[in-house]
Structure formats: C-alpha cells, structure tokens
Amino acid sequence: MISEFGIILLYFILGFVFVGIALVAAYFIRPSHPNAIKNSTYECGEIPIGEPWVRFNVRFYVIALIFLLFDVEVVFLLPWAIVFKGLGWFAFIEMIIFVVILLVGFAYVWGKGDLDWERPKPYIAKLSDLVIGKKKQ
C-alpha cells in the first residue's frame, strides 16, 4: 500500500526519469555541428554586446524593493475596499492605521534620500580596514 507521500515520491522519481530520458535521448539522436553563431546567446535576434554577467546598479534593487512594498499595500487595500461597507468604522480606522504606518515608511525612504537617483560617492578604503583585515587569520 502506498501512502499519499509515496505517490508524491513516485511522481518525483517519474519526473526525474522522464527528463533524464528526454535529455539522454536528445544527446544521442541530435546532430552535433556547433558554430560561433549557434553558441552565441539568444537576444531576440540582436547581436549580444559585452558579457551577459553585468553588475546592475544597487539602486535598481532598492527601487524594486520599495515598489514591491507599496504594491503589496494595494493588494491589501483591494479586498478591504470590497467588504468595507459591511465592516464599517472599525475597518476604516484599521486601514487608516495601516496606511499611516506605510506613510511613515514612505516618509522615511524619502527623507533618507533613497528615492533620489544620484551616483553614490565611492568609498575610499582606509588604512584601518587593512589592519582589521590582516588580523583575521
């Protein structure tokens, strides 16, 4: 008798086997004629320029994170708006508190200048960094 988890395990194994067979079969069947164009990265028909592993400016992440936060706010606001009439004042005050908390966060982000897009000044390493670095063995 196989339990539910046994069935899941079977699925796991089957999945691995299936993919494995497909890859192995392709390896044997396919013709192998590599050239430069075939090995290049697919960029919607454009010719790739430079390395694909470029560093993105950390600002993008910050903006993305902030966007995510306020996006989630909307996600919460939507169902609230739908049932708002039925819940009355209580829900209204609750949501005001929620929004105020988010606004505090917004003010903080703004005040800290995380919304400004300026090039950060590079940090120049000091001698003390080296000293501490050296002590660590």
Partner 1 sequence: MMDISDLIKSISLFKPETTLIVTFMLAMILDMAFKKSKNIAGYIAIAGLVIAGIFLFQQTGVNYKAFANLLVIDSFGQFMKFIVLMSSLIIIVFSFFSNELHNAHTKLGEYYTLIIGMTFGMFLLVGSANLIMIYVAIETMSISSYVLAGYTREVKRASEASLKYVIFGAVSSGIMIYGISILFGLTGSLNLFEINQFLSVNNVATLPLLLSGLMILSGFGYKISAVPFHFWTPDVYEGAPVTITAYLSVASKAAGFAVLLRFFKTGLLDSVPGTSEAWQLLGNIDWHYVIAVLAVLTMTLGNLVAVWQTNMKRLLAYSSIAHAGYLLMAVSVMNDNGVSAVLIYFVFYMLMNLGAFFVVQLIANKLDSENIDEYNGLGYRSPVLAVCMTVFLISLAGLPPTSGFIGKLYVFSSVINSGYIWLAIIGVLNSVVSLYYYAKIIRNMYLRDVESAKTKLVFSPVTIAIVLMLAIPSLLFGVYFTPIVEWANYSMNIFVGN
Question: Does 112 contact partner 1 by CB under 8 A?
Answer: yes
Residue 133: phi and psi, rounded to 5, are: -60, -40
In whole angstroms, how close is the CB of 94 to partner 1 at the nearest point? 10
Among 45, 111, 120, 122, interactor with partner 1 by CB under 8 A:
111
By beta-carbon proximity to partner 1, the closer residue of 21 and 130 is 130
Contacts 24+ apart (CB under 8 A), 117-124: 117/59
By beta-carbon proximity to partner 1, the closer residue of 33 and 121 is 121
Please give the full DSSP string across 55-108, using - where no structure is assigned. PPPHHHHHHHHHHHHHHHHHHHHHHHHHHHHHHTHHHHHHHHHHHHHHHHHHHH
Fill in the per-residue mask, 71 to 110: x = in contact with partner 1 (CB under 8 A), - = not in contact: -------------------x----------x--x--xx--
Tokens of 73: 């706010």
What does the binding site for partner 1 look like in residue numbers (CB under 8 A)?
A: 3-5, 90, 101, 104, 107-108, 111-112, 123, 126, 129, 132-133, 135-136
